[in-house]
Structure 1
Amino acid sequence: MPTLTPTRKRILMGIVWLIPIACVVWWATKQEAPRFPSDAGGIVALVGALGLYVVATLMRAERWDRILRRADVDCRRADVYALTPIGYMGNNVLPARGGELLRTFLLGSRAPGSTKRTILGTILAERVLDAVALGVILVVLASNLLGELPAPNMTVVLAGVAVLLLLIVAAAVALLKFRERLLFVLASLKPMAQPTRQLLSGHGIALLVLSLAVWCVEASVYIAVGRAVGIELGLQDGLAVVAFTNAAALIPAAPGYIGTYDAAVIFAVNAVTNAPRSAVLSYLILLRFVLFVPITIVGFVLLVVRYGGLSRVKAAREAAQAEQRAEHEAAAAAAAATRVESHADTAASTA
């Protein structure tokens, strides 16, 4: 089987990401024409939604800063606040949540004495807090949405259980066969797990409360955008929609969560309101504008002005890869020395 060159891989990946985008565009052309706000009340509501999203973004930056301080990452608060929109910009335009790696590489280049894995671990801690907060909201407030979901097909459920059991067996076999290598990998990942483990404390409870507050503010964004297009959402409805749509965004999708996010928004709004289809489409388009366009522009400007653009990211990534290779070589040399010493001890005891 011929090996794909890096250029062909990028082309293939681009085609894969374009498929859901094309599907969404095709779907939109089959809907009624959207109507956007033209009266003063609608425009004020839209401006208010933008302001609320700025507040939510600043709260997220403050939460990340506190996680970094707790993990003893020596960094400037200005970098934390600047890299937060850069990370969201990267998630919006790059596949596989590439913005998280952007934050890791750029902060790592400005935080001497802190490893990239520790910084990535703080971002993982953020995602854990978001997942727990969204889970709480879904269970407590979004049960009406969960009730709207179709009953699962038993054949699919049984197939999923079978696949899960096979994965468990394969993991057990791999654990027995490659025990030493797995232990080495787990040891190398330990710095990433440390920030998340620190959440099991009063500090973690405080951050969870802050995370719930962040999602309440973001729910207000959803409510304000709804008011701009004539869709009335209460606080419970806004929380239910924001929790369901962001949980759906965890599913791998194209940059900007094209496809999965859009389907989740439409499903959630239809579940809590009786809005006409044209209003729901207007809501989706305006919501995407508020949540994706300004922060992407701000993130790109900060990336270029403050951090030197993509060339700086590439240099930081290469430095991180060189650092990782050096760590692997040192660990391999230490393991080899341990094996030699063990064999010498065995030979001495035998003699």
Structure 2
Amino acid sequence: MSTSASTPGQASGRDAGKSGRNLLKAVPGVLISLFFLWYTFKGISYEEMRGLRLAHPVWILGVLGFTLAGYTLRCVRWTTMMRPTGARFSACARVLMVSLAANNILPLRIGDIMRVFTYADDLGASPSVILSTVILEKLLDIFTLVVLFAATMSSIATHRLHVIVYVSLAVSALGLLVLLLGARALQPHVSRLFQRYGKNPKLAKAEHWVMLALDAVARIGIAGSLLLLAQSAVIWFCEGMIYLASINLVGIRGDHVSAWLAVSFANLSYLIPSSPGSIGPFELAVKTALVSHGAAAPQAAVFSLALHVWLLVSITGAGGVIFLVHRIRTHNHRPLLEEIETLPAEMP
């Protein structure tokens, strides 16, 4: 008689094989990050790296204050999105900060997946509803970054690139306004449009995500959607002020545009596949933006690394502390890696 039960040795072998495959998946991202770091710092001597100094220490208060304000407002914005579910600010803030910390240290945006699945019970909402708010959050951030990118690229772009940037901005703005103001009316039309092209699995997933975003906007309403747009603008203003305060802190030469160009470049660099936290692409993006506005390359390179370390340590540290405090309060002793292994490999 045959049996389907596996022995402990077989189970451990499968676990080891799975861990090995997961490790191999992370290797390309690490190699990409190493290449970008090498390219950012090539030709810069150790003595040049040591040249970065705190020129105006009072700006430390600006870095701390705008970091706190920006991420507090992110928690407020997500609470606004989750308001129809009855989720409280304390739960939303905890889950969001933990997910941001996880995104910084774990591959494949696992923090976002944890927000949707692991913490659904904590938020009192279904995974599909949470996913709809995550999609809307990303759309708002991308639109705000496109606006910032278009506004700052004019300082270094050619005439032809100006046209492309402003056309892209106009299309993005029109699309976002239609989404915010007419989400409920759009739902049946979008559904019919997707059905016209058959039952392709990729199209079905795209339809699912689009309909989730439309449903999230429809539940919030027009006034709530405009509030979200205003909150997004303030959030990214605070992000820009972190960069500006940091630049003034170390006295890097530049103009009033360089910090905002660095914000748009740095955050768009997260679209490049690399290690968690976009280590490497972030540094090159910030350096490129600052050098294009008169900063010295060695200073800009070291500054980009120091700024990235601050952002990673502050957000990951805050999320990690919140995570540990909550686990202690709820007497949760389940290993974190065990929770992660139960998550789906990708968003539904």
TM-score (norm 2): 0.72
Give the counterpart of 1:290 among 310, 316, 321: 310
Contact 1:49/1:290 (8 A) holds in 2? no
Distance 2:86 2:340 in 1: 17
- What's the CA shift string for 1:281-305, capped at 9, x where partnerless? 2211221122111111121122222
Q: Indicate the percent of aligned positions where both proteins have the same amino acid.
A: 21
Aligned residue number for residue 106 of structure 2: 94
Distance 1:259 1:138 in 2: 20
Distance 1:135 1:36 in 2: 34
Aligned ranges 1:171-182 → 2 under 5 Å = 175-176=197-198, 178=199
Contact 1:106/1:313 (8 A) holds in 2? no
Structure 1: gaps (5+ residues): 152-171, 326-351
Distance 2:197 2:321 in 1: 46
Aligned ranges 1:62-73 → 2 under 5 Å = 62-69=76-83, 72-73=84-85
The number of residue pairs the alignment matches comes to 295
Distance 2:272 2:220 in 1: 25
Distance 1:251 1:197 in 2: 32
Aligned residue number for residue 183 of structure 2: none
Aligned ranges 1:154-233 → 2 under 5 Å = 175-176=197-198, 178=199, 186=207, 190-191=211-212, 193-197=214-218, 201-233=222-254
Contact 1:32/1:277 (8 A) holds in 2? no
Give the counterpart of 1:83 among 61, 81, 95: 95
Aligned residue number for residue 173 of structure 2: none
Aligned ranges 1:1-351 → 2 under 5 Å = 5-27=17-39, 28=41, 30-33=43-46, 34-35=49-50, 38-39=53-54, 41-69=55-83, 72-112=84-124, 114-147=125-158, 175-176=197-198, 178=199, 186=207, 190-191=211-212, 193-197=214-218, 201-271=222-292, 273-307=293-327, 308=332, 311=335, 314-315=338-339, 318=342
Over aligned residue pairs, what C-alpha RMSD do you find? 3.7
Contact 2:96/2:115 (8 A) holds in 1? yes
Structure 2: gaps (5+ residues): 1-13, 163-193
- What's the CA shift string for 1:295-344, capped at 9, x where partnerless? 111211222221447736854884x77xx99xxxxxxxxxxxxxxxxxxx
Shift of 1:99: 1.6
Distance 2:103 2:323 in 1: 14
- What's the CA shift string for 1:261-299, capped at 9, x where partnerless? 22211111111x222122112211221122111111121
Question: CA, structure 1 residues 124+189, in 2 after alignment: closer, same or farther (shift >3 Å)?
Answer: closer
Aligned residue number for residue 9 of structure 2: none
- What's the CA shift string for 1:8-61, capped at 9, x where partnerless? 31121132222023324544364233236655x533323421321111000111
Contact 2:132/2:209 (8 A) holds in 1? no
Distance 2:52 2:202 in 1: 59
Contact 2:120/2:126 (8 A) holds in 1? yes
Contact 2:140/2:232 (8 A) holds in 1? yes
Opposite residue 155 of structure 2, the aligned amino acid is: N
Contact 2:269/2:285 (8 A) holds in 1? yes
Shift of 1:122: 0.6
Question: CA, structure 1 residues 184+105, in 2 after alignment: closer, same or farther (shift >3 Å)?
Answer: closer
**Bigger Rg, structure 1 or 2:** 1
Distance 1:85 1:6 in 2: 28
Opposite residue 32 of structure 1, the aligned amino acid is: S
Question: CA, structure 1 residues 109+221, in 2 after alignment: closer, same or farther (shift >3 Å)?
Answer: same
- What's the CA shift string for 1:185-232, capped at 9, x where partnerless? 846974454114557723222211221111111111111111122214
Contact 2:37/2:284 (8 A) holds in 1? no
Shift of 1:150: 9.3
Opposite residue 311 of structure 1, the aligned amino acid is: P
Contact 1:129/1:211 (8 A) holds in 2? yes
Opposite residue 96 of structure 2, the aligned amino acid is: T
